[in-house]
C-alpha cells in the first residue's frame, strides 16, 4: 500500500514542474489576450502557452515513471499529481480556447456568447476523469479490473490537453484563425472521450528494458525525427493517431464480444425453455 505520510522529493519535483508550466501557460494566454495591438506578439504568446502545456505533459509522464522506478509511490503524490493535472491540462487549455474564440470576427459571434459553457463542460469532464482515475487506482479499494495497469479508462487528461493544444499550435503557426471556430466542438468531443468507457493504452509496460525489433526501432526513430522537424503538424498527428488507435481497438473489441453475447443469450433462453418444459 502506498505510504500517505511520506513526500518523496524527486517525483514530486517533476509534479511541481508540471504545475509551474501550467501556470505559466495560463499567464501567456492572458498576455496574448491583452496584446490586441501586436499580432506577432499574440501568436508568440499562444505558441509559448502550447509548448508549456507540452512541457507539463512531459513532466507528468516522468513523475509517475520515476516514482515507479524508484518505488517511491505515495498517496500524497497521487493527489498532488491530480491537482496539478487539473491546472495544466484542465484550466490552461479551456482558458486558451475561450480567449481564442473572443476574436472580434463575425464567425465567432455565437461562440463568444457561449464560449464559457464549452470551457466549463471540458473542465467538468476533466474533473470527473481525474476523480474516477483516483478511485480506480486507489490502493485502499479492491480492484475488480483484470488489467488495471495496462489501459486508461477514458482519454487521459494530458492527451486531451495535447489534442487541443496541438490544434491551437497549427492555427497559430499557419495563421488559420478562421479554423478556431472548430475548437469548441473539438472540446466537446474530447470531453466525451475523457468520461467514456473507451480504453486507451497507457504504455506503462514500456521502459528502458523493453525489447523491440530492429524494424520497430527504426520506425520509432523516424517518428521522433519527423516530430522534431515538422513539430507543428506532427504533434497533432501523434495525438490524433493515439485517439484513432484507441477508437478502432474499442470498435474491434465490441464486434468480437457481440457474437459471445448473443450466444450466451441464446443459451439462457434454451435453458429457460427446458426449465419450463
User: pLDDT of 82-91, one tens digit each?
Assistant: 999 999 999 9
> What percent of the chain shows pLDDT beyond 70?
78
DSSP letters spanning 39-59: HHHHHHHHHHHHHHHHHHHHH
The Cα 25–Cα 96 span in angstroms is 9
3-state secondary structure 249-272: HHHHHHHHHHHHHHHHHHHHHHHH
- Are 91 and 30 contacting, i.e. CB atoms less than 8 angstroms apart? no
Hey, what CATH class is 9-212 in?
A: mainly alpha
Taking 50 as the threshold, does the pLDDT of residue 147 lie above it? Answer: no
131 pLDDT band, cuts 50/70/90, is very high
Burial code (b: 16+ CB inside 10 Å, e: under 16) for 1-21 equals: ebeeeeebeebbebbebbbbb
pLDDT at 208: 53
Q: For residue 98, what is its C-alpha cell?
A: 475561450
Rounded average pLDDT over 154-182: 90
Burial of 207 (0-12, 13-18, 19+ CB in 10 A): exposed
**Per-residue pLDDT, 102:** 72
Give the confidence band of 103 by pLDDT, cuts at 50, 70, 90. Answer: low
What is the mean pLDDT of the segment spanning 107-132?
86
b/e string for 109-131 if b means 16 or more Cβ within 10 A?
eebeeebeebbebbbebbbebbe
Per-domain residue ranges of the chain = 9-212
pLDDT of residue 217: 63
Q: How many helices (H) and strands (E) does the chain have?
A: 9, 2
Give the burial class of 164: count Cβ atoms within 10 A of its Cβ; 0-12 exposed, 13-18 middle, 19 or more buried: buried
- pLDDT score at 64: 79
pTM: 0.83
Q: 3-state class of 146 per DSSP?
A: coil
245 or 66, which is more confident: 245
Report the mean per-residue pLDDT for the chain.
Answer: 82
The whole-number pLDDT of residue 4 equals 55
What is the pLDDT at residue 268?
Answer: 58
**What is the average pLDDT across 153-160?**
94
Per-residue pLDDT, 193: 97
pLDDT at 139: 67
Amino acid at each position: 500500500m502506498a505510504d500517505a505520510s511520506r513526500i518523496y522529493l524527486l517525483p514530486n519535483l517533476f509534479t511541481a514542474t508540471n504545475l509551474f508550466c501550467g501556470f505559466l501557460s495560463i499567464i501567456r494566454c492572458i498576455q496574448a489576450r491583452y496584446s490586441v495591438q501586436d499580432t506577432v506578439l499574440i501568436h508568440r504568446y499562444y505558441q509559448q502557452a502550447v509548448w508549456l502545456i507540452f512541457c507539463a505533459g512531459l513532466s507528468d509522464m516522468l513523475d509517475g515513471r520515476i516514482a515507479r522506478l524508484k518505488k517511491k509511490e505515495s498517496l500524497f503524490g497521487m493527489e498532488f499529481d491530480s491537482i496539478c493535472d487539473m491546472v495544466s491540462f484542465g484550466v490552461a487549455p479551456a482558458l486558451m480556447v475561450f480567449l481564442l474564440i473572443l476574436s472580434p470576427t463575425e464567425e465567432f459571434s455565437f461562440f463568444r456568447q457561449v464560449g464559457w459553457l464549452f470551457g466549463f463542460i471540458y473542465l467538468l469532464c476533466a474533473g470527473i476523469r481525474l476523480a474516477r482515475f483516483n478511485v480506480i487506482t486507489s490502493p485502499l479499494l479492491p480492484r475488480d479490473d483484470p488489467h488495471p495497469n495496462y489501459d486508461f479508462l477514458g482519454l487521459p487528461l494530458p492527451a486531451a490537453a495535447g489534442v487541443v493544444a496541438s490544434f491551437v499550435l497549427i492555427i497559430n503557426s499557419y495563421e488559420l484563425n478562421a479554423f478556431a471556430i472548430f475548437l469548441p466542438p473539438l472540446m466537446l468531443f474530447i470531453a466525451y472521450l475523457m468520461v467514456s468507457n473507451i480504453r486507451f493504452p497507457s504504455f506503462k509496460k514500456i521502459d528502458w528494458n523493453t525489447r523491440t525489433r530492429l524494424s520497430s526501432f527504426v520506425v520509432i526513430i523516424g517518428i521522433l525525427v519527423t516530430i522534431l522537424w515538422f513539430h507543428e503538424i506532427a504533434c497533432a498527428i501523434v495525438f490524433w493517431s493515439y485517439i484513432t488507435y484507441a477508437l478502432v481497438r474499442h470498435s474491434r473489441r465490441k464486434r468480437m464480444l457481440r457474437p459471445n453475447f448473443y450466444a450466451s443469450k441464446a443459451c439462457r433462453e434454451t435453458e429457460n425453455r427446458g426449465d419450463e418444459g
